Amino acid sequence: MASIDDHPGEHAAREPIKLIAVRETALSLDEVFGAVGDDAAGGIALFVGTVRNHDEGADVDRLGYSCHPSAEAEMRRIAEKVVAEYPVRALAAVHRIGDLGVGDLAVVVAVSCPHRAEAFEACRKLIDDLKHEVPIWKHQTFSDGMEEWVGAC
């Protein structure tokens, strides 16, 4: 009998990056979840970032995201690093730009791996690195009329 590690499903897929996008349109959980489906994956981790109604004690009414033209390429670079570090079967990441209201989806990332622990770790690495390294900026508008730019990297 072959060892578990000899099974091809225990390793990263050949081309696991299925979806990378920066969009001005509403994001779809179904699209991202569907992109990471893989018969060899025993775990899929999905993270959804939404616009919340507060930040550091102040009420947020809305926000806008803008990005550098290199944002999508930077997302792909980060995805490639995650794929190199974990046995990713499939990976997807989309980020919204433009004006968003409270409750809107701002970012959706998902990773499928042979096992749940790997999927959780890879997804966490993906979203953390995206938030720290991709040139996407957030402009918050507070209910008191104040505004603030927040850099994601």
- pLDDT tens profile 88-117: 999 999 999 999 999 999 999 999 999 999
**DSSP per residue over 68-135, as a string?**
-TTHHHHHHHHHHHHHHHS--SEEEEEEE-EEEETT-EEEEEEEEESSHHHHHHHHHHHHHHHHHHS-
pLDDT computed for residue 1 by the predictor: 45
User: How large is the average pLDDT for residues 117-124?
Assistant: 98
pLDDT computed for residue 4 by the predictor: 57
- The side-by-side arrangement of strands in the sheet containing 105-113 is 17-23, 90-96, 105-113, 43-50
Residues β-bridged to residue 44:
112
Position 80 pLDDT exceeds 90 = yes
Which residues, other chains included, contact 46 with Cβ-Cβ below 8 Å and sequence gap of 6+?
Answer: 29, 32, 33, 36, 108, 109, 110, 123
E-strand stretches of 2-42? 17-23
Q: Which pLDDT tens digit goes with each residue over 30-77?
A: 999 999 999 999 999 999 999 999 999 999 999 999 999 999 999 999
Q: Which pLDDT tens digit goes with each residue over 2-20?
A: 455 677 788 877 899 999 9
Residue 94 near residue 26 (C-beta atoms within 8 A): no
For the chain, what is the total number of helices (H) and then of strands (E)? 3, 9
Distance of CA 99 to the CA centre of its chain: 19
Residue 129 near residue 56 (C-beta atoms within 8 A): no
Q: What is the pTM of this model?
A: 0.91
Residue 139 near residue 66 (C-beta atoms within 8 A): yes
Position 153 pLDDT exceeds 50 = no
Residue 62 near residue 101 (C-beta atoms within 8 A): yes
